[in-house]
């Protein structure tokens, strides 16, 4: 089984910074630390309301990732503004996500089935510019097929519902949601899509997700930034990395 990459999402370093309107903590410094601690890439979501990551953060993160030769995964809504920003920076990857201003976080995946005609031309333009395009979708076979049909090269499967069910002690629901993630990953792989996963992952939920053999990358943020308060960002990332590696080693054994 191939090594699973870890993308560290540093959005919530900016959330803490913005809570006081100060210049610290700096998401770019967090990105540097994350890369030094073993992250394979950096993920940042420029929300339309700029509630955490700012345009200036994206400018700086693009420079840092380029200088370090590591991928920047730019998460964004499917809007003309975000498309223009992606095309201006040419990050390694763009992950297309749904966005509603009133939501606390990205609740549910992008509806690629319904949004096909809006999403497809955006994907074409981003891919033509050399950006690797991913659609953040629920673990649903129709969404997987739609992501393939709009021309995305990658799907990122939304693990939020699974992680919430685990944390809520809803075992049967969690098992069913994990089965959906496995089926969607297998189908996406069969269709030639690269498969990623993310949202809500912590130390408990990472191993069952990481054991899904088709997965190539996990994107993890909120839990790691929270854990960094207690043990530091580097150790939190190293522990997550170790759990991912254990899950893969157990599966291969």
| Residues in 141-170 that interact with ligand PXP by CB under 6 A | 156
Rounded CA-CA distance 91/71 in Å is 7
Binding mask 167-196 for ligand PXP (x = CB under 6 A): ------------------------------
Our finding on whether 248 is near ligand PXP (CB under 6 A) is: no
Q: Taking CB under 6 A as the rule, which mask of x and - marks residues 78-97 in contact with ligand PXP?
A: -----------------x-x
Residues 192-221 that bind ligand PXP (CB under 6 A): 198-201, 219-221
Beta bridge partners of 45: 75
Taking a C-beta distance cutoff of 8 angstroms, is the pair 113, 146 a contact? Answer: yes
Query: 75, 83, 99, 187: which is the annotated catalytic residue?
Result: 75
Q: Which among 45, 89, 158, 196 is annotated as catalytic?
A: 45
The answer to whether the CB of 233 falls within 8 A of the CB of 37 is yes
Which lies closer to ligand PXP via its Cβ, residue 17 or residue 252? Answer: 17
Strand (E) positions, the chain? 5-9, 41-45, 72-76, 93-96, 132-137, 154-158, 194-198, 215-220
* Residue 27 contacts ligand PXP per CB under 6 A: no
Active site residue 75: yes
205 three-class SS:
coil
Distance CA 248, CA 227 (A): 23
Which active-site residues does the annotation give?
Answer: 45, 75, 199
């Amino acid at each position: 089984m191939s090594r699973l990459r870890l993308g560290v999402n540093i959005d919530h370093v900016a959330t803490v910074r913005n809570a006081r309107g100060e210049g610290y903590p700096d998401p770019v410094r967090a990105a540097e630390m994350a890369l030094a601690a073993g992250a394979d890439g950096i993920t940042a979501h420029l929300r339309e309301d700029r509630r955490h990551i700012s345009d200036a953060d994206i400018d700086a993160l693009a420079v840092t990732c380029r200088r370090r030769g590591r991928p920047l995964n730019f998460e964004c809504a499917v809007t003309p503004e975000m498309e223009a920003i992606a095309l201006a920076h040419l990050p390694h990857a763009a992950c297309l996500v749904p966005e509603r201003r009133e939501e606390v976080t990205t609740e549910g995946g992008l509806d690629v089935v319904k949004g096909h005609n809006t999403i497809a031309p955006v994907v074409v333009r981003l891919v033509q510019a050399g950006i690797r395009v991913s659609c953040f979708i629920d673990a649903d076979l129709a969404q997987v097929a739609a992501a393939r049909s709009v021309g995305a090269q990658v799907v990122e499967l939304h693990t939020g519902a699974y992680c919430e069910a685990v944390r809520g002690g809803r075992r049967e629901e969690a098992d069913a949601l994990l089965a959906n993630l496995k089926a969607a990953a297998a189908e996406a792989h069969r269709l030639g899509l690269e498969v990623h996963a993310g949202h809500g992952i912590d130390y408990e939920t990472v191993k069952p997700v990481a054991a899904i053999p088709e997965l190539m990358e996990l994107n993890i943020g909120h839990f790691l930034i929270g854990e960094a308060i207690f043990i530091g960002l580097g150790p939190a990332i190293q522990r997550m990395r170790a759990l991912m590696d254990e899950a893969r080693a157990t599966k291969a054994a």
